[in-house]
Structure 1
Amino acid sequence: MTLMEQLNQDMKQAMKSKDKEKLTVIRMVKASVQNESIKLGNKDLSEDEELTVLSRELKQRKDSLQEFKSAGRDDLVKKLETEINILQEYMPQQLSESELEAIVQTTIQEVNATSKKDMGKVMSAVMPKVKGMADGSQINKLVQKHLN
């Protein structure tokens, strides 16, 4: 089942159960996917492209969440946390810390990285392997830790 099919099915279910928050998030994600489809000129997006859109939506909300927390906007923090939880239902299973660490170590060996100067090389090799399954900042910290 493609992401759009899943979103349509979940949207119908949210309408039936009168879950306004979930319905709003699903509509936003559908719009983002459709906009990306138009932008790329494809009728259907690949699974990878859909994952990119979902990751972007999730990242935007996480960034906003930090801003609202620092501004003391608890009303908006709760709303965004709910949206993040709904979006994570559509994301692939997240990798554990140990799995990520193993991928980072393997990649460092593959690209023969020895110092922090090689950070870009390592990051560009790791990110496609863990796309959608891990947060970029978490990967960045692990790469820095292993390149010391």
Structure 2
Amino acid sequence: MSVKQRLDDDVKAAMRAREKERLVTLRLITAAIKQREIDERIVLDDAQVLAVLDKMVKQRRESISHFDAANRHDLADKERFELGLLQGYMPAALEVAEIDRLVAGAIAATGASGVRDMGRVMAHLKPQVQGRADMAELSQRVKALLGG
């Protein structure tokens, strides 16, 4: 079952169960997906839907840190709820050893020899790790292996 279909089924289930908070968050997710589809005039596949969800997860994490710093625990709790729901649709996170193996394979596949080749390596890795690894951490790992 595709991620979009799972979302649609979960929206219907939340409506039937009268789970207001969950329904609001699920509608927010589907609205973000539909907005991207309308903007780009395409139908998103699972990889593109995961990219939208990944962006939303990153936004929630940043918001939580800002709200906690400002002692707005009520808003941080709301963001944590949304983050938990979003993570339920994301694939399982990669282990550190698996990430290292993928990075080494990407460096070999692209023939990268230094930090200037980092863009090619990241472009090669992105489809493989989308939604399963933090891209900032992955970037640091690639840079370290390339000697940067």
Which AA in structure 2 matches 1:36? R
Partner SS state of residue 126, structure 2: helix
Residues 125-140 of structure 1 mapped to structure 2, 5 A cutoff:
125-140=124-139
Give how far 1:85 is off. Answer: 0.8
For normalisation by structure 1, the TM-score amounts to 0.87
Which whole-Å deviations, capped at 9, do the CAs of 1:20-61 have from their partners, x for residues lacking one? 22111100011111111211223x322222122212222221
Counterpart for residue 19 of structure 1: 19
Which whole-Å deviations, capped at 9, do the CAs of 1:58-99 have from their partners, x for residues lacking one? 222122222223323222222111111100111122211111
- Is the alpha carbon distance of 1:121 and 1:80 closer, same or farther for their aligned partners in structure 2, counting shifts above 3 Å? same
Give how far 1:123 is off. Answer: 1.5
- Is the alpha carbon distance of 1:114 and 1:71 closer, same or farther for their aligned partners in structure 2, counting shifts above 3 Å? farther
Residues 40-51 of structure 1 mapped to structure 2, 5 A cutoff:
40-42=40-42, 44-51=43-50
Counterpart for residue 87 of structure 2: 88
1: CA distance, partners of 2:112 / 2:44: 34
Counterpart for residue 77 of structure 1: 76
The two structures, once aligned, show a CA RMSD in angstroms of 1.7
2: CA distance, partners of 1:33 / 1:18: 23
Residues 1-148 of structure 1 mapped to structure 2, 5 A cutoff:
1-42=1-42, 44-148=43-147
The runs of 5 or more residues in structure 2 that have no matched partner are none
Contact 2:4-2:46 within 8 A present in 1 as well: no
Q: Percent identity?
A: 33
- Is the alpha carbon distance of 1:69 and 1:115 closer, same or farther for their aligned partners in structure 2, counting shifts above 3 Å? farther
Partner SS state of residue 45, structure 1: coil
Q: How many positions carry a matched residue from both structures?
A: 147
2: CA distance, partners of 1:77 / 1:105: 37
1: CA distance, partners of 2:112 / 2:69: 37
Which AA in structure 2 matches 1:81? R
For normalisation by structure 2, the TM-score amounts to 0.87
Give how far 1:136 is off. Answer: 0.6
Partner SS state of residue 132, structure 2: coil
Runs of 4+, deviation exceeding 4 Å: none
